[in-house]
Amino acid sequence: MQKNNLGYPRIGARRELKKACERYWSGKIDREELLSVAEKLRRQNWTVQQEAGIDLVPCNDFSFYDQVLDMSLSLGAIPKRYTPVLTQNRENTELDLYFAMARGYQKDGLDITAMEMTKWFDTNYHYIVPEFYKEQEFKWFSSKITEEFTEAKKAVKKTPKPVLIGPVSYLLLGKEKEEGFHRIDLLKKLLPVYVEILSELKALGAEWIQLDEPFLSLDLTEKEKEAYKTAYEAIAKACKGINIMVATYFEEPGDNTALAVSLPVSALHIDLVRAPQQLDAILEAAPESLSLSLGVVDGRNIWKNNYEKSLDYIRKAIDAIGEERLFIAPSCSLLHTPYDLDAETGIDPEIKNWLAFAKQKLGEISDLSDILEGNEGLLEENRKAIESRRISSQIHKQEVKDRVAAISEKDTTRHVGFALRQKIQKNRFGLPLYPTTTIGSFPQTTDIRRLRARLKKGELTRAEYEARIEKATIEAIRTQEKIGLDVLVHGEFERNDMVEYFGELLEGFLFTRNGWVQSYGSRCVKPPIIYGDVSRPEDMTVRWSRFAQQHTDRIVKGMLTGPVTILQWSFVRDDQARSATTFQIALAIRDEVVALEKAGISMIQIDEPAIREGLPLRKKDWPAYLNWAIGAFRIAASGVQDETQIHTHMCYSEFNDIIEHIAAMDADVITIETSRSQMELLEAFADFKYPNEIGPGVYDIHSPRVPTVEEMVTLLRKASALLPEENIWVNPDCGLKTRKWEETEAALTNMVQAAKKIREKVEQVVS
Ligand code: 39S
Ligand code: ZN
């Protein structure tokens, strides 16, 4: 039985790639140096995988920014606006074009926007969305795929396996930028380019090629199913002698099983961690010509594999189809897990023995194979670790379980309805129409981050650190007063990240030193690990909110991360339902909300940017999820008095299909991302007659560009045409932590001006 891997993290164990990219972007290192960092990382990754005994070592899983963007460059799907980047006598390379597509290009007289970014299925990884036009053409443009194969062939003994996004998923991941066609219709034009690349890979000696087709496990239309047949028949016909492995993950093919096993390919990879129930049906349906790659090691989480369970699946498959046709693999690319557990020296050894990061997961694949060959000792050791976790007193806290069991209807409802709350709150706050605010965070400058690094290294005392954070907070308050914002925030300088910060303070959570995973481009996160029942031993944010409120006469909004987002952006328990964990977190956040209210904070924002991305990949599973996710938010938000105003914030606000659930959250104010869609996303709220207050983002914070007063007034006019005036707030799209202070001040100054202008207009109409 061969050992297969689908992909490996590429950011570097110490985020070497992140640092090198950022230095390249700021002109501190040249192209050669960046390329050499990248080459070294690839070599290290290949070596680790080879040493772990992986037979099919992936290549082309490396990326400077994102693997979907890499495909767009390989397939020549480069939007026209980037043409000037490579022409007009600029000394740019293909790499600069690539980064321009990812990040925009504001240099030497050009101002070109970046391509859009969105979440990779239900993960916290973001990809760059391919743009498609009616007259879209494709041609083999970048030779990254073949170059990396050639490079990998030199580095590993067995023939490496190039990994590409399959043609149907590539199209479905993209977006039509013009009316009048469906992107799937572009398949005919796209396929010849795939055939060209695959044929060249074969000529260079490739034996296996992995084509990722996660959409094969999602709800598909008839037309999309047809596209799968067309695509793989065309590839099979034109590329004889290449073994194609189609990889599905994050769900099961389910009603697409017959289609999946009928594709004329050599192997199908299935995710048995997310969807173990599919195994029987797949084994039953698989024709003799099809091999199966069994994804038994969790590529999305950090728990040690339960060998006994995995071996059950593997043995069942052996009995059904024989071991010659089987591969053992992780469930999906290991991109979503941190590098190396061995580098974590601060974790309680009992808990550490329950965990496995990317490197350890390679070892697990090899262990499983060894156990099948008779190494029973490995199985015994694993059994002990699994049992130690199952019964550990560090995990189970009866009082937490009891409190969740006792949650009742009244814990999920505010005392009075929104209409009455709105009156009470308008009275209390006396804000102008179109009140201005921000989403919460202010620039996390290198200086601020360095303070935290020095605190961790022991170069600063806690008192010195806090004094510096207090200074930054006061400065932020003064700046906001000067700009003239109506509702202020404290700036979140004390937070490393909006989830990790809470993970460090809550019980049942564990945090790592180097457990980085890529979130987008060079941006990484260190998701905390939820290992046990969750409780809140002490206040988490009260000190900073109270401090900020004491330094101004204006309202300071308190800032919390919501239960669903904390769940979604952490590594979660796999020994209880996600809903159970979320309710535990919701109670902890509820206690914090009440503590903030007691400390005199009158507006409290509970961010839930991840509610939408948590939606199950199959529509049939939506209602159950929405029921508990919205319920958890309401538990967190409903402990306060009527006059306390609850805000929430969401990014990526495509709400058409879940608007009634957004309304059911019953937040007094919701701020959303709408500027990039020119307020289009607001229509869902207007059509629904969404009753509560809304702050539609008036400028995009993902770009350093300072928006003009006029463009924000235009957006506000659009919003006021759609929504009742007394319900509209004025704010940016999202938090400002990734921006610089100059940009932030300039943009917010213009934003406040825009609010003034729109208010003047209203007064004229009234008088
Ligand atoms: N998921 C999570 N968890 N959090 C989010 O904010 C988001 N937002 C969306 C969706 N998913 C999310 C994605 N957006 C960053 C920004 C936006 C993101 C995601 C990540 C981000 O800025 N990440 C930082 C980065 O990649 C790391 C944040 C962090 O935890 O640079 N920083 C730590 C801190 O502030 C560690 C700082 C650090 O790097 O304490 N220290 C240096 C080191 O240890 C030393 C500092 C120096 O001397 O320069 O080497
Ligand atoms: Zn946001």
DSSP structure string for 323-392: GGGEEEEESS-GGGS-S-GGG--SS-HHHHTTB--HHHHHHHHHHHHHHHTT-HHHHHHHHHHHHHHHH-
Query: Is the same domain home to 259 and 275?
Result: yes
Residues with Cβ within 8 Å of 274's Cβ and at least 6 positions away in sequence, in order, are 249, 250, 251, 252, 300, 331
Rounded mean pLDDT, 383-389? 97
- pLDDT value of residue 75: 98
Token pair recorded at residue 732: 């940016």
Q: Which of 391, 419, 442 is the last residue before a domain boundary? A: 391
Rounded mean pLDDT, 320-335? 97
Please count the CA atoms within 13 angstroms of the CA of 195 that sit on its side-chain side: 17
- pLDDT value of residue 111: 87
User: What's 255's domain CATH number?
Assistant: 3.20.20.210
DSSP state of 690: -
| Beta bridge partners of residue 303, listed in sequence order | 355
pLDDT digits (tens, 9 = 90+) for 177-227: 999 999 999 999 999 999 999 999 999 999 999 999 999 999 999 999 999
Catalytic sites, residue numbers: 702
State the amino acid at position 103 in one-letter form: R
Nearest ligand to the C-alpha atom of residue 676: 2
Residue closest by Cα to atom 46 of ligand 1:
450
154: closest CA among 42, 2, 312?
42
Query: Is the same domain home to 135 and 7?
Result: yes
Q: Which of 329, 360, 391 is the last residue before a domain boundary? A: 391
Q: Does pLDDT of 761 surpass 80?
A: no
Dist CA 445 CA 451 (whole Å): 10
Dist CA 151 CA 570 (whole Å): 35
Residue closest by Cα to atom 37 of ligand 1:
449
Q: Coil, strand or helix: which one is 210?
A: strand
- Angle formed at CA 275 by CA 322 and CA 224, multiple of 5 degrees: 95
Q: How confident is the model at residue 171 (pLDDT cuts 50, 70, 90)?
A: very high
Residue 578 lies in a domain: no
Pocket of ligand 1 (CB under 6 A): 124, 444, 446, 449-450, 452-453, 496-500, 519, 523-526, 569, 738
Residue 660 lies in a domain: no
Residues with Cβ within 8 Å of 509's Cβ and at least 6 positions away in sequence, in order, are 502, 503, 528, 529, 530, 531, 534, 570
Q: Coil, strand or helix: which one is 64?
A: coil
Q: Does pLDDT of 704 surpass 90?
A: no
Q: Which of 338, 362, 391 is the last residue before a domain boundary? A: 391
Query: Is the same domain home to 56 and 109?
Result: no
Q: Ligand 1: which of 125, 449, 518, 569 to mutate, most ligand atoms within 8 Å of CB?
A: 449
Token pair recorded at residue 174: 């993209």
Token pair recorded at residue 298: 């969790």
- pLDDT value of residue 652: 73
Dist CA 375 CA 449 (whole Å): 47
Query: Is the same domain home to 62 and 94?
Result: no
Residues with Cβ within 8 Å of 234's Cβ and at least 6 positions away in sequence, in order, are 191, 195
Residue 649 lies in a domain: no
Q: Coil, strand or helix: which one is 725?
A: helix
Dist CA 692 CA 695 (whole Å): 10
Q: Where are the beta strands (DSSP E) in 602-744?
A: 603-607, 645-650, 669-672, 693-696
Ligand 2 (ion): residues with CB under 5 Å are 609, 651, 734
Q: How far is CA 471 from CA 220, 450, 474, 601, in A?
A: 54, 15, 5, 20
Distance 146 CA to ligand 2 centre (A): 38
Q: Does pLDDT of 767 surpass 60?
A: no
Query: Is the same domain home to 20 and 105?
Result: no
More confident site: 420 or 765: 420
Provide the percentage of residues in the chain whose pLDDT is more than 90: 94
DSSP state of 591: H
Q: Which of 167-176, 290-299, 678-687, 756-765 has the lowest mean pLDDT?
A: 756-765
Task: Quote the crossing angle between the two packed helices 31-51 and 16-25, to the nearest 10°.
Answer: 170
Query: Is the same domain home to 210 and 306?
Result: yes
Dist CA 502 CA 392 (whole Å): 23
pLDDT digits (tens, 9 = 90+) for 637-690: 999 999 999 999 998 778 889 999 999 999 999 999 988 788 888 999 999 999
Rounded mean pLDDT, 519-538? 97
Rounded mean pLDDT, 52-60? 98
Query: Is the same domain home to 159 and 207?
Result: yes
Dist CA 206 CA 209 (whole Å): 7
Q: How confident is the model at residue 766 (pLDDT cuts 50, 70, 90)?
A: low
Q: How confident is the model at residue 401 (pLDDT cuts 50, 70, 90)?
A: very high
Q: Which atom of ligand 1 is nearest to the CA of 18?
A: 26
Q: Does pLDDT of 436 surpass 90?
A: yes
Dist CA 139 CA 76 (whole Å): 5
Query: Is the same domain home to 308 and 247?
Result: yes
Distance 104 CA to ligand 1 centre (A): 21
Query: Is the same domain home to 225 and 110?
Result: no
Residue closest by Cα to atom 33 of ligand 1:
496
Query: Is the same domain home to 109 and 182?
Result: no
Residue 733 lies in a domain: no
Render 437-487 in DSSP notation, one character per residue.
---SB----HHHHHHHHHHHHTSS-HHHHHHHHHHHHHHHHHHHHHHT-SE
Token pair recorded at residue 218: 């999602």
Q: Which atom of ligand 1 is nearest to the CA of 500?
A: 3
Distance 523 CA to ligand 2 centre (A): 15
Distance 707 CA to ligand 1 centre (A): 25
Query: Is the same domain home to 194 and 70?
Result: yes
Nearest ligand to the C-alpha atom of residue 439: 2
Number of structural domains the chain divides into: 2
Dist CA 350 CA 389 (whole Å): 8
Query: Is the same domain home to 86 and 175?
Result: no
- Domain residues for 84? 80-114
Residue 423 lies in a domain: no
pTM, to two decimals: 0.95
Residue closest by Cα to atom 43 of ligand 1:
453
Q: Does pLDDT of 762 surpass 90?
A: no
Residue 446 lies in a domain: no
Q: Tell me if 492 sits within 8 A of 440, measured CB to CB.
A: yes
Nearest ligand to the C-alpha atom of residue 440: 2
- pLDDT value of residue 113: 87
- pLDDT value of residue 359: 98
Q: Does pLDDT of 276 surpass 60?
A: yes
State the amino acid at position 677 in one-letter form: S
Rounded mean pLDDT, 48-62? 98
Residue 57 lies in a domain: yes
Pairing relationship of beta strands 110-112 and 105-107 according to DSSP bridges: antiparallel
Distance 519 CA to ligand 1 centre (A): 9
Q: Does pLDDT of 508 surpass 80?
A: yes
Residue 7 lies in a domain: yes
Q: Does pLDDT of 262 surpass 70?
A: yes
Residues with Cβ within 8 Å of 87's Cβ and at least 6 positions away in sequence, in order, are none
Rounded mean pLDDT, 619-635? 98
Return the C-alpha torsion angle 441, 443, 447, 451, nearest 10.
10
Distance 588 CA to ligand 2 centre (A): 22
Q: Ligand 1: which of 457, 494, 519, 570 to mutate, most ligand atoms within 8 Å of CB?
A: 519
Dist CA 198 CA 141 (whole Å): 14
